[in-house]
Structure 1
Amino acid sequence: MKRSTSYLFLLLAASVFAACRTEKTKPTVAYISGQYVGAEDSVLIDVRDYGKELSYNTPISLDTVFSDTLGNFAVTIPLSEGKEIVLNSGFDFNKIFVEPGDSIYFETDNKHETPIEVVSGRGSDKFKVFLKLRSLINYGDFTDFDSAQVVSEYDRRFGESQALIDSVKPHFSEAFNRYLKAQMIREKHYFEASFFGYLKNYRNIDIQRDSAAAVQMELDVFDNASIGDGNSDYAMDLMYLARSKAWKADTANTVNRITHYKHVIDSLDISKRFAQQLLAQGYLSYLNEGNVAELEPFLTNYYERYPDSDYNETLKDEYRDWYAISNGQPAPDVEAMDPDGTVFHLSDLKGKVVYIDIWATWCGPCLGEMPHAKKIKDHYKENNDIVFLYISVDENKEKWLKYLEEHPDFKGMQVNDSGNFNSNITKAFKVRGIPRYIIIDIEGKIFSTDAQRPSSGEKLISELDRALEGPAA
């Protein structure tokens, strides 16, 4: 009996020891490896904490690694919980939800339209589900359907996507299931609230929108706000919805709109960390529109309220940069080339009101504004105090020149500042999306860094008339 008791004691001790070892060896990292197929040299890869970033242009880097010359890479990511990350390189852009203990391998090329097919390893099933959902709800596909097919095809694909999520739910963690739920709510809202407008404005596909469905989806986004923490798409959607509410509350006064935006975010049932992110995202988006003076007291309040926020330094840096190009500041003297190869400087136009249109031949929305721009130019055709300056950021100058040759009715001053979003004009004015419109007054000072689009019609004319009346205050 004594021997048996001792044996049982040893078994119990071994079990306790094993349990302790299991607790101690709980995974605290994830491994991501793979190959950039077709790479001819080493690829620089920035691993980003994407779900917590304020915008694409304010990255939170977890690590930076290089592949070998054949594109093979491996990275170890310390983490205590699941999170959305991005592997960003000049070769490809891949969003992945990773959890401690994952060891995911995948292969990709540098063609955005090519689906990723080689995926393996522990945790790779999450990536496969995400890739499948992305292929089902690929908005580029819907532009190939006529107006009668778009809604029914979307409903079919959305239903298939939801069925997939329901079928795999038992196999995944609560964190990943929550992430997928947030993604589907966001996708549904985008379709109901925004995609129809895109089809109408840029694809000439006019579909009668179900306004009741759009309103319901807005409510769903707000009601489920807490599950959007860590999901970049959901956070951005939530921020713009809160801004839309603020706009409807006061279309005239920017300070009142920012106040209302803050109230909307403060009223959400979300974590303190997520509230900090959404407030910072909103404030940054208002800064991006040139609302520098209006934002100052809100930023001061933010720093006092959240002295340890991870976003304080980013907001301070962005404020400083935007102040330098705020209304009334001297416009940066950007340089470009005219069609003959002659160097152009923005300062050459001092003494004129300058309406700058930053565009590119590859930018569909830019080209969609051109017919409206002709009407604006016709309105001012007898006014010699205003210049319409078109700055193409096309990297391929030949495409730009060919476009000008094929569109002789495209009037205005034409220059090229090659480099896309690394061009002089985009860096000087912090341009992160085109088309972008800027007004410079007769003294060469900034009147507006986010002017009205030509398609706004009378709104733009009113803004240009104010600029013609005198310099920015």
Structure 2
Amino acid sequence: MLEAPKEMNDTTLHVRLRKAFNEMRTKTLTRQERSEIDSFSFHGWSMNNDDWFRNLASYREALDGRITNIMYAGYQKEMNAGQPQEMIKLQIISKEITSPFIREYYQYQQTANILKMNDNPAEVDSLYKNFMAKVTNEVYRKSINEVYANLKKYGDNQPAPDFEFENVHGAKVKLSNLKGKYVYIDVWATWCGPCKREIPFLTTMEKSFAGKNIHFVSLSVDRQADKEKWQAYVKDNQLKGEQLITDNDFNVDFIKKFNINAIPRFILIGPDGKIVSANAKRPSDPALQQQLNGLL
């Protein structure tokens, strides 16, 4: 049976303990100190336990953390050079994880994430070929094949897939009916903080290009159950442009064909209906203003 702690005579003890704890938490550790702490934390701990990985969410979470720790402890040079963290993690996975089951899972996750955000055709092709040469799991191979096929079919300079969604007034809007002008699409949701931080920049851009040959479309992936919340947000914040909502959040063909699983995401389509940029710059990026000035 657990005993209740004895009453403390020193009433300032808890204050001093909290101060010491905070100082410990806020101390900037050297790379060596952090490496030593990590080695203590994971001493005798295997990164290749199939049973634990299959059955324990806590183990999978700890393994994610371990991979991140290794990256920050041993790959600072690569990170400082601007190499994407997902690519660094692929290196760590290949080096540290010997379990085929666990390794292929992580190879799939990292490769899918990189492909969905990569707009360099040569890198996409290389990553895809490398994945298909190493991974045998048919479920993972099929999924990556679909992602890769979408990148090829709906990449830059390819015809954009059509959509038909409801606007904030209840009318149906088709993308194909907007041909003749550039179309800048903002895929967002009311629950997405980074999305909402882009709205003031988008509003400024809409004013800057008013009367020019461009439509600004905001496509919400809010759930249909939250449709009224979306309508209220648009109204309360006086959002301009064409405000649309999908009829099944992320689970619609247009979103899937662009491999969108994270938002905000921006797409620029030309007057001819072809994709100018499947992964366009954000409104907060000055490069977008420069691009649109050149086009318009």
Once the two structures are superposed, residues 194-228 of structure 1 have per-residue CA deviations (whole angstroms, 9 ceiling, x without a partner) of xxxxxxxxxxxxxxx86647997689779969845
Q: 1:440 aligns with which of 269, 273, 286?
A: 269
Per chain length, whose mean CA-contact separation is higher, i.e. which structure has more relative contact order (CA < 8 Å, sep 6+)?
A: 2
Matched, 1:283 2:115: no
Which digits, 9 at most, give the CA deviation of each residue in 1:246-296, with x for residues without a partner? 564346xx9xx9876654544x33315244443333221111114473222
Percent identity (aligned) = 27
CA deviations over 1:39-74 (Å, ceiling 9, x no partner): xxxxxxxxxxxxxxxxxxxxxxxxxxxxxxxxxxxx
Answer yes or no: is 1:342 the counterpart of 2:174: no
Alignment partner, residue 385 of structure 1: 213
- Residue pair 2:78, 2:88 contacting (<8 A) in 1 also: yes
What residue in structure 2 maps to residue 458 of structure 1? Answer: 286
Equivalent residues in 2 for 1:137-216 (5 A)?
Answer: 212=29
User: How far off its partner does 1:390 sit?
Assistant: 0.8
Instruction: Name the amino acid aligned to 1:404.
Output: V
Q: Partners in 1 of 2:161 and 2:36 — Cα distance? A: 43
Query: 1:407 and 1:350, CA in 2 relative to 1: closer, same or farther beyond 3 A?
Result: same
Separation in 1, partners of 2:161, 2:196: 26
* 3-state secondary structure, aligned to 1:327: coil
Correspondence for 2:81: 249
Please state if 1:401 is matched with 2:231: yes
Where do 5+ consecutive residues of structure 1 fail to align? 1-151, 160-191, 193-208
Rounded to whole Å, the distance in 2 between the matches of 1:356 and 1:347 is 13
CA–CA distance in 2 between the matches of 1:424 and 1:303?
25
- Are the aligned partners of 2:220 and 2:244 in contact in 1 as well (CA < 8 Å)? yes
Corresponding residue number in structure 1 for 2:251: 422
Offset from partner CA, 1:92-148 (integer Å, 9 cap, x none): xxxxxxxxxxxxxxxxxxxxxxxxxxxxxxxxxxxxxxxxxxxxxxxxxxxxxxxxx
Give, in whole Å, the separation in 2 of the partners of 1:413 and 1:330. 21
Shift of residue 462 of structure 1? Answer: 4.1
Count of residue pairs brought into register by the alignment: 257
Aligned partner of 1:355 in structure 2 is 184
Give the match for residue 271 of structure 1. Answer: 98
Return closer, same or farther for 1:313/1:366 CA change in 2, 3 Å cut-off.
Answer: same
TM-score (norm 1): 0.45
Query: Aligned residue for 1:325?
Result: 154
Unaligned runs of 5+ in 2: 1-17, 54-58
| Distance of 1:416 and 1:434 partners within structure 2 | 14
Letter in 2 for 1:443: D
Amino acid in structure 2 at the alignment position of 1:269? E
Cα deviations by residue, 1:353-388 (Å, 9 ceiling, x for unpaired): 222112222333322322232233344346x12222
Q: Return the alpha-carbon distance in structure 2 between the equivalents of residues 350 and 244 of structure 1.
A: 47
TM-score by length of 2: 0.67
Higher alpha-carbon Rg: 1
Structure that is richer in strand per residue: 1
Which amino acid counterpart does residue 236 of structure 2 have in structure 1?
Answer: E
Contact 2:111 2:131 in 1 (8 A): no
Tell me, what secondary structure is at the counterpart of 1:420?
coil
Calculate the aligned-residue CA RMSD, in Å.
4.1
Q: Residues of 2 paired with 1:412 and 1:215: CA distance?
A: 52
